[in-house]
Amino acid sequence: MSGQNLDRLCAEYGYQVANEVRQAIGKNAENHITKSLGVLQEDGVYAFFLYQRSRGKSEIDGAKKLEMEAAALLSAADIKPFKTVSDSLEAVRGNKTTKGLADDLDQLLLAKRLLEQTLIYARYHAKALEEGQ
């Protein structure tokens, strides 16, 4: 993470999230991203990942894409337990996302902030994509 511009990283992943979720679930992308952001802000990182897992058939593909992009973002930012993409996916699939994060409050708060900023950017990208079509 040395010297990395984290806002630029959030912007890049925000765009990827918007594209991936929109391709998976269409016009409901902005709504799903907004709801995911609300869960993250109100209930935290662990609840955010559980929320993606709890989506029904109409949103599951978009939720999986969002979950994978979120894990990749945290890996790119060198957040524990997301040191590598394979570690990230293992942590998410095994519901172990808080194990490494719970041990380090600074890492947990940084992860939450990065995810929030990414979802804010993703929401705006999704809106722009919707209006552009």
Centroid of chain to Cα 17: 8
Residues near 23 by beta carbon (within 8 Å), at least 6 away in sequence:
65
Q: What pLDDT is stored for residue 83 in this prediction? A: 61
The position carrying tokens 């902030």 is: 113
The CA-CA-CA angle for residues 98, 103, 108, to 5°, reads 60
Give me the pLDDT at residue 46, please: 86
Rounded distance between C-alpha atoms, residue 56 and residue 72, angstroms: 23
Does 78 or 12 have the greater pLDDT score?
12
pLDDT at 105: 87
Question: 47: closest CA among 58, 36, 56?
Answer: 36
In words, the CATH class of domain 6-132 is mainly alpha
- pLDDT tens for residues 54-106? 999 999 999 999 999 998 999 899 887 766 555 555 655 555 555 566 678 89
CB 62 within 8 A of CB 21: yes
Residues shown for the chain: 133
Rounded average pLDDT over 102-126: 93
Q: In the chain, count of helices (H) and strands (E)?
A: 7, 0
> What is the mean predicted confidence (pLDDT) over 105-111?
91
Confidence grade of residue 1 (pLDDT, cut at 50, 70, 90): very low
Q: CA-CA distances (angstroms) from residue 16 to 11, 12, 23, 56?
A: 9, 6, 11, 22
Mean per-residue pLDDT for 40-47?
A: 93
pLDDT for 133 equals: 62
pLDDT mean over 102-116: 90
Q: What is the pLDDT of residue 2?
A: 53
Average pLDDT over residues 18-31: 95
Residue 57 burial (CB count, 10 A): 6
State the Cα–Cα distance between residues 11 and 30, nearest whole angstrom. 16
